[in-house]
Amino acid sequence: MTIETGMRWGLVAGIGCFCLHVRAASFDCKLAKTPQEKAICGSPALSAADERLAAVYKAQLAAVPAVMQGTFREGQRQFLQALALGCAADKPQPLATLAACMQPQVEARIAALKGSVSRRGGTVFVTEAVTLLGKDTNSYHAVEGQESNPGFGTVTASWPQAVASGPQWAAWNAAITRETQRMADPEGDKDNPTGWVDGWASDQEATVAASVEQVHGDLVSSLISDEFMGHGAAHPGESYERFHWLLRKGRELAVSDVFAEGAAWKPFVTRKCRAGLHAQAINGQDITYDDQEMSRGLAETIATTHNWSFSRRGLTINFPEYAVAPRVSQPEPVTISWMDLKPYLSPGFTPPQ
């Protein structure tokens, strides 16, 4: 596996030295020792992916400001460590099996690295990443042939950081980091003082990813997703939220920043959402709602800015799983135009143009 010229390290997990090189020419397969090295040498597809990973990493590292390069390197080191541990051979197995384990993870890392430097609203953002490894605390009996108990869980988290000076962006950098940590923490502790905790990864495999959706004037809107599979769980889970931040005020967006005080916006938005939900068809059938459950779910969903998205078209209400319908009938978001919302908007709020 390749990273940078001269960068090598050993990983302690009973798997030996998983050595890394910069080019295929410097990766002498005659000297391959570990199962992972041999799997790379024995699989043309994995070898090609390894080279693409090296090229993308090198290009993105060059684009990252010097002050962030140490963190960027650490994120890559942690990915490689998790890859080596996750695809380690507890007992002898065909190299093709090992290569099949490594291939999708390398491909996913390539895709993540390609989007690690981006620009929104004239501001450059660099994606930082961390990989948490947590020892399993519970035992379970997996269905034979479908799943095995790896003994530890993995959480891969990534979040953007603005390459901009000044206290406003520094406050946002800290806020989006905390919010991503809250999504990664199974307890959802927003005031966690200790940073990233390996224990969050126990008993699950999860990917938490934050990205900047738009920068509109003073407003920075981000999407944070959490896709997870508990060890021994019947099916995967997922959750999504939007995180809106006001740069000049140095705080998260509040409902009162969008809607005028005393305006009857909730009944209006509720009616619009009801109409939109009833008009949708999921899986070829009209959604059947329990009216009482829908009312309760809509009230909670609408009142939470984490479920809002902003665009030129209007305000979009996104519905979390189980908020207004069963998981199998997950409804699509409902968008309400700014023209329709105009009578209810706060005088200080400017919709995206």
pLDDT, position 34: 78
The string of pLDDT tens digits covering residues 87-100 is: 875 556 678 888 89
pLDDT, position 136: 83
- How far is residue 7 from each of residues 2, 4, 38, 220, measured CA to CA in Å? 9, 5, 19, 37
pLDDT, position 19: 40
Give domain 116-253's CATH architecture.
2-Layer Sandwich (3.30)
pLDDT, position 4: 32
Mean pLDDT by 10 residues, the chain (353 residues): 31 34 50 81 88 90 88 89 75 78 90 89 91 80 51 90 92 96 86 83 92 93 94 85 97 97 95 87 57 79 96 95 76 94 95 86
pLDDT, position 88: 72
pLDDT, position 295: 78
Please state the domain extents for the chain.
1-114, 116-253, 255-344
Identify the three-state secondary structure at position 276: helix
pLDDT, position 291: 65
Measure CA of the first residue to CA of the last residue in the chain; give whole Å: 46
pLDDT, position 86: 77
pLDDT, position 289: 59
pLDDT, position 135: 84
pLDDT, position 256: 96
The Cα–Cα gap between 157 and 127 comes to 10
Per the CB < 8 A criterion, the answer to whether 334 and 317 are in contact is yes
pLDDT, position 30: 80
Per the CB < 8 A criterion, the answer to whether 137 and 205 are in contact is no
Identify the three-state secondary structure at position 194: coil
pLDDT, position 333: 93
pTM, entire model: 0.79
CB atoms within 10 A of CB 53: 21
Helix axes 44-63, 66-86, angle to 10 degrees: 160
Amino acid at 336: I
pLDDT, position 265: 97
pLDDT, position 296: 83
Give domain 255-344's CATH architecture.
Alpha-Beta Complex (3.90)
